[in-house]
Structure 1
């Protein structure tokens, strides 16, 4: 899967989606995603496999188990293993659910 395919899969969930941030305000629930760091496979001073680590971030005003399940079901359907963390952003009064995924080939 590449970034364009990830974006298309996220858009299919029916929520606003943007890379990193939206240009204008949107109402939760919404999703952002961005590149975090690389975990490339290397040997003999060469990068053999590009592995990009991305964060898919779901934002909700309430604890929205249905929205979380939609994201998780899509990731499982796309056979993308993920790590999940959650936090409450008090200044924004919003939940942030982060799914860490890897894209082979960037």
Structure 2
């Protein structure tokens, strides 16, 4: 999964559906979520792209979207925020939440 910066973020906002995982390298739950996101990306391939934003490397993006805790995942549809998820989530719950919002 690609870790993106602010410039790349703007390019991804042109996509139909993008789930952005705001994370930190020091965050335990973020590390636990990483393989779940890999599996979700495979399950929802063609429906949603998943990218990651390191809040320590791109604090302006975290601030812009009100990310107060990590991990926080925000689903964007054609550049508009449609839903957000905070904390670790099991794969089935995350997939269901994304599909419902799409």
| Same fold (TM > 0.5) | no
* Higher strand fraction (1 or 2): 1
Q: Which has the larger radius of gyration?
A: 1
- TM-score with structure 1 setting the length: 0.29
Question: Which gives a bigger RCO, structure 1 or 2 (Cα 8 Å, sep 6+)?
Answer: 2
Higher helix share: 2
